[in-house]
Homo-oligomer: A and B are copies of this chain.
Amino acid sequence: MNTHGKNIIGNNLSAMGTSSFNAYDVASNSLLPTKFYEATTTEINAAISLAAEAFGEYKNKTGKEKAAFLECIATEIEALEMELIETASKETGLPLARITGERGRTTGQLRLFASQLTEGSWVNAIIDNALPERKPLPRVDLRQMQIAIGPVAVFGASNFPLAFSVAGGDTVSALAAGCTVVFKAHPAHPATCELVGAAIIRAAKKCNMPEGVFSMVHGISHQVGHALVTHPLIKAVGFTGSLKGGKALYDAAVKRESPIPVYAEMSSVNPVVFLPEILTQKAGDLAEAFAGSIVMGGGQFCTNPGIFLLLKNESSTNFIQLLTAALTAKPSVALLTNGITDAYYQGITHQRNTEGAIGLTAFDANTPQPHLLQIDAQMLISNPSLTEEVFGPSSVAIIAKDMDELIECILHLKGQLTASLHGTADELKNAGVLVDLLQEKAGRLCINAFPTGVEVGNAMVHGGPYPATSDSRTTSVGTQAIYRFTRPFCYQEFPDHLLPDALKESNPLQISRLVNGIRL
């Protein structure tokens, strides 16, 4: 396929604007030829109008129809074969094997949501039958289920060109919920976006979905995103990216005449606590595994462990030496964009220039290497900037003189996607306080495990208190992510024929329901 660089507005391609940009080949450090046309206000409004029109039809598609659509998207993505893998690898610098794995995650995610829709119980059907004889007042017939919230704007992330991009978790959970989607392509991999966007349109046509169920706009300026988020017909926003970017969208959304929810996954350093005895027993294995977690995906995962806390003693000194050696042995990595490379260099430089901070690994501005810094706990407490995310393969060791100081450090942390705790069975027996404190700070807590590698399943929480996300009440990974794009609705005294199938008295979908307080 020849890359055209145009916006996908419903079923049409459009390039009305004069502003354009090119994608970048990370390996050769050079611009790629195709011009991508930034969407104009007219194009953005057209995409949103189509999304709003399509919503009326799409939300009433059955679960099986929506499931078939998601499965068809997966099939269309697989049909892109190596063209997709190679394009994504070129635009991001991520290796072919990693992109291939990520494609599997993306299509697996589509099929997981499809199976959730096919099964159908996710709508949380609740039925309270009428009790006409109840005293002092009769009860009317009341039925509740989750319904789609409306057209949604989704912003792709740079670090997962497939799994958190065009057909990624936000888009899929919104489509599964019954929402239509206007997607803002990430300018760091626009050709990849074009391929996947076209795959979704093909799937939509094959499955007789209404035009506008999905549109995709390009943009490298902030205006495109702002126009999407502030449009009155957009009812929710999904975003994965920087704190600055997510906060800007959040601020725009809450100032609207009708504020809307923004699910921005933004910033996390994913603290790891190592208790002393486990470091005595397993220093070598832990150092190797932890180094692997730090460099996984070039350190460009939201769950990258950017800080770790240990008590000052021989076993932690030994562990840090082993970890330094393990990280030094790792190759340098090409980061996703020049912007990320620059920010990585600046972040590490800021850390190393902090008085008292010890750079444990070599550092060269020209080749982004895995990096390790060591500071004392009191430095973290007095200088919170040392716990800000440095996006890339780096981590900061925080040495506490005793458990009280370590706990004080935890209390000073902001909200996180994850926290991790390593200890022996004996150490964990008395770790209730630590578990409680880490839970307050995060959306997921790993015991004797590292946070990288986010399972797409039912029980995953990829979320957490601010600034990890803008809304700790949700997850952006796994089947529960669907509830970001729904709201509860109550049907009072409805005749059976007007009820959705999920709430009809005979339970034609055979789903699990809460009926008069009993789970059936």
Contact = CB atoms under 8 A, between A and B. Distances in A.
A461 to B, nearest CB: 4
A519 B495 CA distance: 29
Interface in A398-421: 414-415
Contacts of A127: 459
B258 A444 contact: no
A460 B142 contact: yes
Nearest to A444: B490
A512 B519 contact: yes
Contacts of A395: none
A126 interface: yes
Interface stretch (A156-164, A204-212, A469-477): A469-477
A492 B128 contact: no
A30 B68 CA distance: 68
A487 B473 contact: yes
Contacts of A486: 473
A248 interface: no
A263 to B, nearest CB: 11
A488 interface: yes
A427 to B, nearest CB: 11
Contacts of A448: 493
A382 to B, nearest CB: 18
Interface in A118-162: 121, 126-128, 136-137, 139-140, 142-144, 147, 149-150
A139 B60 CA distance: 35
Interface stretch (A72-80, A318-326, A430-438): A430-438
Interface string A250-290: 11001000110100000000000000000000000000000
Contacts of A471: 261
A467 interface: yes
Contacts of A488: 443, 461, 463, 473-475, 480
Contact of A128 (B254, B440, B457, B497): B457
Interface in A476-508: 480, 483, 486-495, 497-498
A339 interface: no
A444 B491 CA distance: 6
Nearest to A457: B128
Contacts of A440: 150
